[in-house]
A and B are shown apart, each in its own frame.
Chain A
């Protein structure tokens, strides 16, 4: 037998082994997330109507055969708007998470690997940033720069960055104290080699989990901002804006407000359950969230 053929030794074999370990609820959640992402990507082909098209003069029409989820306050199709809302929300959350992760993990690892004065100054600055409640930081920046996609993306990415930095530094510091890293140091290895070959492989799963948590958090955060009227600005709309726009529906006894809110909750719940399972697999613990 050549060594490569053993199932536990190929990437695919390990992936399959992991998948077969998956619990029922984790699998359902992963499936749901995949479907939601597909809906987001292919929104223009899936949505029955244009998101901005006013189809009727009646606000908050109950669900019907033409409009499965009824109409919104301007008489637009709620289902179509929901599908486009998912697209915007996911796009923002994904961009922000990726940005904050690339920079946060990079800086966090750099601090952990460098140690000494660089680490202590970086961490001290980060601690000071963490002494802001995140919503305050966002409100201050939005107050100054207004709320455009660019401002939203960079502001929330910055807020997330401080959290990602803290977590990834803590994870990397736990790895750095291991003797195998010391062994690489006595061998004379460079910093980047240690980061990519020693630290990264040992923090990959908890980092993936942290990505899931940040992603969820970002979705909730953007929705909250949009709900306050300070996030995504009409005519563009994400799920949070939809909740805000349609608050009036409650007074008419319609549930239009709830659909986008439930959608946000479903995405977040699925991600959280999946992340919990992932963390259980690697039996690691992330530092407490801030």
Chain B
């Protein structure tokens, strides 16, 4: 084995609270980065992966302190360097690509000025050379109009392009080590693989070593040579990509693998629908815009039905109108034309005009449990209020009901007396779901309820949803951008693009080729757990995008 480029040994990072109590957020981490190889740091939120990668540059966020260990780049301990030495190191040897390029670019400077800033101010390149180099990088990252894109300001460029421009900024001084911190997480699924592909090409063309930080195991399989799995700041497993994917040894890695976003093997059979009963929800040729004066419709001629006991998945990317559709059904937004039927009866467009019973039957679960639950109300009040409001229970009856409901969503009953911030993310999402159940609804509209959760927890929530459906005969409208999740839970799906439903039917009908070009594009964007997937997928993707735009 060659001499490693970067040696991280026994790294500890701690935070201190106001009373000076120490909490370790990174605990005894050791790993190597070989020249020209990519190592992936994988873990869920709070696993310390970003902190470790920043630590490799000798940087900690305010409030965090490197307390122990060493980070050696070619035999030099980065943690011992003075501030000017660190500045030199960061500009030349180790560079960084942040998660959100949109926030990380300086909005007051032109892109070119930011990309070429470091080589020019350190004098390692003339301004002209640096600009030429930048244009070359833009070309190799396949950015549109590489000659002129750098003359713009950051807000004039799209998110996917900015992310690539940030990679150009990191590569301009030919660093020895590139750190990529969740560089595709903020992007839409179909853009993600394009960006991932350019990163992969860039790294292999320049033979740069890299640390790739992510929560998504299937993405990593495409790009990394080694994998370090982290949990709560500690190392769980460390090894070759092939070995970890094909033969994970630790329980936690296995759970991650099982929950990773791969398509399920078995698909739900469509439910048997009795012909007489009207569907719970029927949407008839609905169009909608954000305001009456707005000529552009966000929803265009939507038709769909949701039957009793059935799950309808709505898939689309940001801007497809999927959330708007959910809000429209629940009465938070009015339609321009068309109408929504509940049990065959037309519904009033706005919440305030609907009857209590109509309101009760349709419940909405919001994406982010941490903002969907009032942090200053106890769980008892959050869950008890719908019971009292819709079902007229007394306070003491509601308290008893809350205990039963908490058991039903697999939470301890004494959680009733806690406040939401005292719960974990997964527990909060259960409470969020329980609030909808408290109304005893017929249908629950779930808006991306698993997207903000870590993969393992998301899987548990999906299981819970299925159990509840079997028990209460609920219908779900499951809104998501993630086709794999929807394939796991739904019987029928509708694919939305730019405000229209482009394809609708049973899971098998919609997702089995030949399918609509856009559906195919979405399917094509799901990373598969094999190392040669990306190169194949990118070829197919480009053909599909061409066909869609034609």
Residues on A close to B: CB < 8 A? 3-4, 6, 9, 21, 178-180, 182-183, 185-189, 197-198, 201-202
Q: How far is the CA of A125 from the CA of B351 in the complex (A)?
A: 30
Contacts of A197 in B (CB 8 A): 374, 377
**Is B472 located at the chain interface by the 8 A CB criterion?**
no
- State the interface size on chain B (CB cutoff 8 A): 30
Tell me the smallest distance from the CB of A179 to a CB of chain B, in Å: 4
Residue contact A183 to B372, C-beta cutoff 8 Å: yes
Residue contact A180 to B371, C-beta cutoff 8 Å: yes
Closest residue of chain A to B376 (Cβ to Cβ) is A201
Residue contact A183 to B375, C-beta cutoff 8 Å: no
Q: How far is the CA of A198 from the CA of B381 in the complex (A)?
A: 11
Q: How many A-B residue pairs have CB under 8 A?
A: 55
Contacts of A183 in B (CB 8 A): 364, 366, 372, 435
Tell me the smallest distance from the CB of A176 to a CB of chain B, in Å: 12
Known: A185-B351, A188-B351. A202 touches B372 (CB 8 A): no
Partner of A202, one of B364, B367, B376, B416: B376
**Is B386 located at the chain interface by the 8 A CB criterion?**
yes
**Is B246 located at the chain interface by the 8 A CB criterion?**
no
Residue contact A187 to B371, C-beta cutoff 8 Å: no
Residue contact A180 to B386, C-beta cutoff 8 Å: no
What per-residue 1/0 map shows which CB atoms of B13-41 lie under 8 Å from chain A? 00000100000000000000000000000
Contacts of B376 in A (CB 8 A): 201-202
Q: List 26 A-B contacts (CB under 8 A).
A: A3-B414, A3-B416, A178-B374, A179-B368, A180-B371, A180-B373, A180-B374, A182-B366, A183-B364, A183-B366, A183-B372, A185-B351, A186-B331, A186-B332, A187-B359, A187-B386, A187-B389, A187-B439, A188-B351, A188-B354, A188-B356, A188-B389, A197-B377, A198-B374, A202-B374, A202-B375
Partner of B377, one of A4, A179, A201: A201
Tell me the smallest distance from the CB of B305 to a CB of chain A, in Å: 22
Residues 440-488 (chain B) with a chain A CB within 8 angstroms? none
Q: How far is the CA of A178 from the CA of B373 in the complex (A)?
A: 9
Which 6 A-B residue pairings sit nearest by Cβ, starting from the closest?
A: A201-B376, A3-B417, A179-B372, A179-B366, A180-B374, A188-B359
Partner of B417, one of A6, A178, A187: A6
What per-residue 1/0 map shows which CB atoms of B290-322 lie under 8 Å from chain A? 000000000000000000000000000000000
Closest residue of chain A to B366 (Cβ to Cβ) is A179
Contacts of B18 in A (CB 8 A): 21
Q: How far is the CA of A197 from the CA of B390 in the complex (A)?
A: 17
**Is B330 located at the chain interface by the 8 A CB criterion?**
yes
Residue contact B417 to A4, C-beta cutoff 8 Å: yes
**Is B156 located at the chain interface by the 8 A CB criterion?**
no
**Is B352 located at the chain interface by the 8 A CB criterion?**
yes
Tell me the smallest distance from the CB of A171 to a CB of chain B, in Å: 13
Residues 332-362 (chain B) with a chain A CB within 8 angstroms? 332, 351-352, 354, 356, 359
Contacts of A6 in B (CB 8 A): 417
14 further A-B contacts with Cβ under 8 Å, apart from A178-B374, A182-B366, A197-B377, are A21-B18, A179-B367, A182-B332, A183-B364, A185-B332, A186-B331, A187-B359, A187-B386, A189-B389, A198-B374, A201-B374, A201-B376, A201-B377, A202-B374
Contacts of B373 in A (CB 8 A): 180
Among A182, A186, A202, the most chain B Cβ lie within 10 Å of the Cβ of A186
Q: How far is the CA of A4 from the CA of B351 in the complex (A)?
A: 36
Closest residue of chain A to B369 (Cβ to Cβ) is A179
Contacts of B331 in A (CB 8 A): 186
Partner of A178, one of B351, B371, B386, B435: B371
Contacts of B359 in A (CB 8 A): 186-188
Q: How far is the CA of A35 from the CA of B359 in the complex (A)?
A: 54
Contacts of A21 in B (CB 8 A): 18
Tell me the smallest distance from the CB of B544 to a CB of chain A, in Å: 35
Contacts of B332 in A (CB 8 A): 182, 185-186
Residue contact A9 to B417, C-beta cutoff 8 Å: yes
Q: How far is the CA of A179 from the CA of B416 in the complex (A)?
A: 20
Contacts of B330 in A (CB 8 A): 186
Contacts of B390 in A (CB 8 A): 187
Tell me the smallest distance from the CB of B526 to a CB of chain A, in Å: 28
Contacts of B366 in A (CB 8 A): 179, 182-183
Closest residue of chain A to B390 (Cβ to Cβ) is A187
Contacts of B354 in A (CB 8 A): 188
Q: How far is the CA of A185 from the CA of B354 in the complex (A)?
A: 12
Contacts of A189 in B (CB 8 A): 389
Tell me the smallest distance from the CB of B291 to a CB of chain A, in Å: 11
What per-residue 1/0 map shows which CB atoms of B373-414 lie under 8 Å from chain A? 111110000000110011000000000000000000000001
Tell me the smallest distance from the CB of B246 to a CB of chain A, in Å: 41
Q: How far is the CA of A189 from the CA of B386 in the complex (A)?
A: 10
Tell me the smallest distance from the CB of B70 to a CB of chain A, in Å: 35
Tell me the smallest distance from the CB of B387 to a CB of chain A, in Å: 11
Partner of A186, one of B351, B377, B385, B416: B351
Contacts of A187 in B (CB 8 A): 359, 385-386, 389-390, 439
Among B18, B371, B439, the most chain A Cβ lie within 10 Å of the Cβ of B371
Closest residue of chain A to B364 (Cβ to Cβ) is A186
Contacts of B386 in A (CB 8 A): 187
Contacts of B351 in A (CB 8 A): 185-186, 188
Contacts of B374 in A (CB 8 A): 178, 180, 197-198, 201-202
Closest residue of chain A to B413 (Cβ to Cβ) is A3
Q: How far is the CA of A84 from the CA of B379 in the complex (A)?
A: 50
Tell me the smallest distance from the CB of B391 to a CB of chain A, in Å: 12
Q: How far is the CA of A125 from the CA of B385 in the complex (A)?
A: 37
Closest residue of chain B to A185 (Cβ to Cβ) is B351
Contacts of A179 in B (CB 8 A): 366-368, 371-372
Q: How far is the CA of A189 from the CA of B331 in the complex (A)?
A: 13
Among A179, A189, A201, the most chain B Cβ lie within 10 Å of the Cβ of A179
Contacts of B416 in A (CB 8 A): 3
Q: How far is the CA of A19 from the CA of B389 in the complex (A)?
A: 36
Q: How far is the CA of A180 from the CA of B372 in the complex (A)?
A: 4
Q: How far is the CA of A187 from the CA of B364 in the complex (A)?
A: 9
Closest residue of chain A to B375 (Cβ to Cβ) is A202
Q: How far is the CA of A73 from the CA of B399 in the complex (A)?
A: 69
Tell me the smallest distance from the CB of A255 to a CB of chain B, in Å: 40
Among A4, A182, A201, the most chain B Cβ lie within 10 Å of the Cβ of A182
Contacts of A9 in B (CB 8 A): 417
Closest residue of chain A to B365 (Cβ to Cβ) is A183
Tell me the smallest distance from the CB of A239 to a CB of chain B, in Å: 36
Q: How far is the CA of A182 from the CA of B330 in the complex (A)?
A: 11
Contacts of B372 in A (CB 8 A): 179-180, 183
Among A4, A9, A182, A188, the most chain B Cβ lie within 10 Å of the Cβ of A188
Residues 417-445 (chain B) with a chain A CB within 8 angstroms? 417, 435, 439
Q: How far is the CA of A202 from the CA of B417 in the complex (A)?
A: 18
Tell me the smallest distance from the CB of B455 to a CB of chain A, in Å: 23
